């Protein structure tokens, strides 16, 4: 799955090389039973997305976890394009952190990619005692061979934005990436850019506040975040905190441009329905500005007087031309031309769906956008109770990557309401060969 070369490692030499990679044939999705009517373990589903296959649009394998109520959420790799120059590295393990149980599953996707199996389990006690952290979220592989996972909190459910390091071979917990006492108040996502010696992390909220639903009083009570944190990549020191203010409530997914020389990127802010551009200033520090704002809708009988779009996932095409994001509560997907980085231009908007479009994954060539509808079981149950009864879905949006534009592929639908053990909540999409939300280039 690498660009052709002699002795290269996993992934691709550059983002533009990745765009020439093979079409995806299977994808992996964590499927969650926590907060549904089924008392079964979460599982990793393998879905056939090859139109030439006899099992197209079907779940072809299910790998159940050995525990209940893990809340599988996001996933990542033991190796990606950041290891491209190391011929000894292979992208052969999918890392599956559990948001609620704090357990980390390491899955073997090499032996049989269409029927992966559990390789190792990192138990919560290792995170608790070795790192003082819990509720792992985002996984990125590092060029030095280690795996790094951001965490939302401490073992008591308080907010604590620290980072766990795993050995890339044994997957044992090595310790914290950040220095003692320098964890952020809250954690969620992160992205690093080694050419500029920087990492930026974001904030969701305290695990004990968000565990079973959303209460607006917890925002007023200071249990949700609104800041970006800037870190020195080499020294692991926190350099700067950028408070996005009321227009930047709950900044979730953060994406640098894929060009490793870039000094800017975007972050979607869920509660405020805005997208901020962050960038390096001429003085050498970092700043952020709001570049997209989705107006809230006036509603009656809802949790808040006005309903935000709730931007829950964003991604950038590998050529850094288009930005995509989902408005989970308003029920639409948007495509922006970001050729002018400070003035994104809306060029495509997808139609409404039952539930709401949530996790996004773009094909390497930028022509197909995969969409799932589950955000997080505690919030699914609160905001889309019918999804708990009927299960989530996975859709495919056809993308006009020349002029901009989105259209639903009406021949593609994976209905997770018809799973053998009952309706399930399918979340993030991963390709075996890597994708635009897991690969980082040096």
CA distances from 129 to 177, 302, 415 (A): 15, 41, 40
The answer as to whether 7 is a domain residue is no
Confidence of residue 306 (pLDDT cuts 50, 70, 90): confident
pLDDT at 252: 97
Mean pLDDT of the chain: 94
pLDDT digits (tens, 9 = 90+) for 69-101: 999 999 999 999 998 988 889 999 999 999 999
Q: Token pair for residue 269?
A: 């802010």
**Span of 51-60, 145-154, 298-307, 413-422 with lowest mean pLDDT:** 298-307
**Number of compact structural domains in the chain:** 1
What SS3 string covers 249-305?
CCEEEEEECCCCCCCEEEEEECCCCEEEEEEECCCCCEEEEEEEECCCEECCCCCCC
pLDDT tens-digit readout, 312-345: 999 999 999 999 999 999 999 999 999 999 999 9
The per-residue pLDDT for 110 is: 97
Largest pairwise CA distance in the chain? 62
Residue 441 lies in a domain: no
Give the integer Cα–Cα distance in Å for 189 and 407. Answer: 29
In a domain, 434, yes or no: no
Boundaries of domain holding 130: 15-426
What is residue 316's DSSP assignment?
E
Percentage of the chain modeled with pLDDT above 90: 90
Q: What is the pLDDT of residue 354?
A: 59
Residue in 250, 182, 91 with CA at minimum distance from that of residue 163:
182
Confidence (pLDDT) at 353: 62
Residue 413 domain flag: yes
Say if 436 falls within a structural domain. no
Q: Does residue 127 carry a pLDDT above 70?
A: yes
Task: Band the pLDDT of 178: cuts 50, 70, 90.
Answer: very high
pLDDT tens digits, 241-268: 999 999 999 999 999 999 999 999 999 9
Identify the band that residue 390 occupies on the pLDDT scale cut at 50, 70 and 90.
very high
> What's the mean pLDDT in 94-111?
98
Establish if 4 belongs to a structural domain: no
Residues 147-170 pLDDT 10s: 999 999 999 999 999 999 999 999
pLDDT of residue 351: 61
Does residue 9 belong to any structural domain of this protein?
no
In a domain, 200, yes or no: yes
User: At 233, which CATH number?
Assistant: 2.130.10.10
Q: What's residue 49's pLDDT? A: 98
The pair of structure tokens assigned to 33 is: 């039973």
- pTM of the predicted model as reported, rounded to 2 decimal places: 0.96
- What whole-number distance in Å separates Cα of residue 97 and Cα of residue 139? 8
Residue 241 three-state SS: strand
Of 107-116, 207-216, 299-308, the range with the highest mean pLDDT is 107-116
Rounded mean pLDDT, 390-398: 96
Interval 1-16: pLDDT, tens: 434 444 488 999 999 9
Cα–Cα distance for residue pair 225/370, rounded to 1 Å: 28
Q: What is the pLDDT of residue 6?
A: 44
Q: How confident is the model at residue 430 (pLDDT cuts 50, 70, 90)?
A: very high
């Amino acid at each position: 799955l690498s660009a052709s070369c002699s002795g290269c490692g996993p992934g691709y030499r550059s983002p533009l090389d990745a765009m020439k990679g093979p079409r995806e044939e299977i994808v992996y999705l964590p499927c969650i039973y926590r907060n549904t009517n089924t008392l079964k373990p979460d599982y990793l589903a393998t879905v056939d997305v090859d139109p030439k296959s006899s099992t197209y649009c079907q779940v072809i394998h299910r790998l159940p976890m050995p525990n209940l109520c893990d809340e599988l959420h996001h996933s990542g790799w033991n190796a990606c394009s950041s290891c491209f120059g190391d011929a000894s590295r292979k992208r052969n393990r999918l890392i599956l952190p559990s948001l609620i149980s704090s357990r980390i599953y390491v899955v073997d996707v090499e032996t049989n990619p269409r029927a992966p199996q559990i390789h190792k389990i990192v138990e919560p006690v290792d995170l608790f005692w070795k790192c003082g952290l819990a509720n792992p979220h985002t996984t990125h592989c590092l060029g030095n061979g280690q795996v790094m996972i951001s965490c939302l909190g401490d073992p008591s459910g308080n907010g604590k934005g620290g980072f766990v390091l795993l050995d890339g071979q044994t997957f044992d917990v090595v310790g914290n990436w950040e220095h003692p006492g320098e964890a952020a108040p809250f954690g969620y996502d992160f992205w690093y850019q080694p050419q500029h010696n920087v990492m930026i992390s974001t904030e969701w909220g305290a695990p004990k506040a968000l565990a079973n639903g959303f209460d607006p009083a917890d925002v007023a009570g200071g249990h949700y975040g609104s800041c970006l944190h800037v870190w020195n990549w080499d020294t692991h020191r926190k350099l700067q905190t950028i408070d996005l203010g009321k227009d930047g409530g709950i900044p979730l997914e953060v994406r640098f441009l894929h060009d490793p020389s870039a000094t800017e990127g975007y972050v979607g802010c869920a509660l405020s329905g805005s997208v901020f551009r962050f960038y390096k200033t001429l003085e050498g520090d970092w700043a952020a500005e709001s570049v997209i704002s989705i107006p809230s809708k006036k509603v009656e009988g809802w949790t808040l007087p006005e309903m935000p779009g709730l931007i829950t996932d964003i991604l950038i095409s590998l050529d850094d031309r288009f930005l995509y994001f989902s408005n989970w509560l308003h029920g639409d997907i948007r495509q922006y031309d970001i050729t002018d980085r400070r003035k994104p231009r809306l060029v495509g908007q997808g139609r409404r769906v039952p539930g709401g479009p949530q996790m996004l994954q773009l094909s390497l060539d930028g022509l197909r956008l995969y969409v799932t509808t589950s955000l997080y079981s505690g919030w699914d149950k609160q905001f889309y109770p019918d999804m708990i009864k009927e299960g989530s879905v996975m859709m495919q949006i056809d993308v006009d990557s020349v002029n901009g534009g989105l259209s639903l592929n009406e021949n593609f639908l994976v209905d997770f309401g018809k799973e053998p053990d009952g309706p399930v909540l399918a979340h993030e999409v991963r390709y075996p060969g890597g994708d635009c939300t897991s690969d980082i280039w040096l």
